[in-house]
Amino acid sequence: MSTQTPNAPTRLYKKSDLTFNPYGSEPGKASLARIIGPETSQTIGAGIATFDDTSVEWTVLYDEIIICLSGVFHLTVDGETFEAHPGDVLWVPEYTPVVYSGQKAEVFYTLYPVNWTETRYQAESFNRNMTGENL
């Protein structure tokens, strides 16, 4: 029998209650609703993102799982594009440079660790070392 207590109570998040904020450089083309963050969980983060005829470049600074909910979602890694349809699942390991894009795509994502922004300096140092930049 486990004696560990949960960090937070079980919750239901209604999509209609979520706030989608602009994401990327083209307003209205991509948005992000962060659902689970460090204020809720000490370990994992989650949210929903949308992409419609836009692309967003990013280096993933955490392990990430992406599930396509609707539309067509594209994830490009090292020149290879993965095309996901509703129900498809993508695994993205930490420190992977990616391009997110899609056509009327809505995805659920979960990431670990939730406190990746606190450890971001480690990723920035890693990126500089990979490109040969001095600190």
- pLDDT tens, residue order, the chain (135 aa): 444 455 678 999 999 999 999 988 876 799 999 999 999 999 999 999 999 999 999 999 999 999 999 999 999 999 999 999 999 999 999 999 999 999 999 999 999 999 888 776 665 666 666 666 554
pTM score above 0.75: yes
pLDDT in tens, 69-105: 999 999 999 999 999 999 999 999 999 999 999 999 9
Share of the chain above pLDDT 90, in %: 72
Three-class SS state of 9: coil
Whole-angstrom CA distances from 97 to 7, 44, 58, 60 are 32, 21, 6, 6
